[in-house]
Amino acid sequence: MTFNMFKNLKVKILFVFLLSPFVFADEPIPIVIDVRTLEEVKTGVIQDAIHIEWTKIEEKITDLNIAKDQKIYLYCRSGNRSGKATAILEKMGFTNAKNVGGIIEAAEKLDKKIVKYSE
């Protein structure tokens, strides 16, 4: 019995190893957008986030030249403005925009650190 379980485990590991290039291939990295004001962002930002104020999201998102099905996570201080920005993106045809709430909650959900902002 122990031998069969070990053999089965080896087969599973081999199976995952062989299929992982196909499963994870071309998976774009999600974009994280901080929609707070510049003054707020200067107090700290989620690692690797892009800063676009929510009132400018419609005009600035096109500068990123991203696909409409790209995963986009938006956050602010409490989740209110990121909710508005998400609605704007959805209206523009973005299908994977998600409001991840306030900065603390978003950092936890995305498993990222809050770091010092640098322009």
pLDDT in tens, the chain (119 residues): 444 544 544 444 444 444 444 455 567 899 999 999 999 999 999 999 999 999 999 999 999 999 999 999 999 999 999 999 999 999 999 999 999 999 999 999 999 999 999 87
Q: For the chain, list the domains and their CATH numbers.
A: 28-115 (3.40.250.10)
**pLDDT score, position 51:** 97
3-state secondary structure of 62: helix
**pLDDT score, position 33:** 98
Neighbours of 57 (CB within 10 A): 24
DSSP conformational letter for 28 = P
Measured CA distances, 77 to 26, 59, 88, 99 (Å):
32, 22, 18, 12
Q: What tokens appear for 83 in the block? A: 């909710």
Residues marked as catalytic? 76
CA distance 86 to 73: 9
3-state secondary structure of 89: helix
